[in-house]
Homo-oligomer: A and B are copies of this chain.
């Protein structure tokens, strides 16, 4: 298809497509003449990925290049390729104190996540957040974190196991796209479900042990214990 058709099918503007071509984010089409090129499904897939990375992953253009290079470098394993996208997603929030960096390392060790690269930006991200909990006087209690970390481990193991089919996908663009959607969209979904679950469990707690001023009939059609 021509560039105008590619724009139509992908939803990207011709200007955006030309920009991606210039930046090397989109591979060139096959030359049909002086000023005409033919584009195919591969370009559509890539444009879809770039939209997900930008809209969903909120990844800046400068990082898109790193991800695309990792996809196009077929000597990199799927895992290394995904690593490039993982790293672009980890937002480090400025300086991180050595204390918090050490606490982060302890948390990861406690959780048994031995295959995490020591230089992973995700560790700085964690250290920064641990710093925030300290600043707020709500420090993460590593000595009582085994149950908590165990649940997160089980959740992540389950999520990764569900990607089984994606792993066999030949299309490297689609693998990265699924990974980013899993991290970002399903991350938001997790927080949303967690909030709802908190409302439920908080209700159970306060309905069982009402404070002095409670009235039990507050919930529409309350059910006994999660029925």
Question: Size of chain A's interface in residues, with CB distance under 8 A?
Answer: 92
- In residues 111-160 of chain A, which contact B (Cβ within 8 Å)? 111-120, 122-123, 125-126, 129-130, 132-133, 136, 138, 140, 147-149, 151-160
* Contact status of A227 and B114, CB under 8 A, knowing A122-B199, A181-B136, A194-B156: yes
Query: What 1/0 flags go to A159-188 for Cβ under 8 Å of B?
Result: 111000001000000000010011101111
Q: Is A226 an interface residue (CB 8 A)?
A: yes
Query: What 1/0 flags go to A185-227 for Cβ under 8 Å of B?
Result: 1111111111111111111111100110111001110110111
Interface stretch among A13-21, A25-33, A75-83? A75-83
Chain B neighbourhood of A186, CB < 8 A? 133, 138
Q: Is the interface of A mostly helix, strand, loop or mixed?
A: helix
Residues of A within 8 A of B (CB): 52, 56, 74-80, 82-83, 86, 89-90, 107-108, 111-120, 122-123, 125-126, 129-130, 132-133, 136, 138, 140, 147-149, 151-161, 167, 178, 181-183, 185-207, 210-211, 213-215, 218-220, 222-223, 225-227
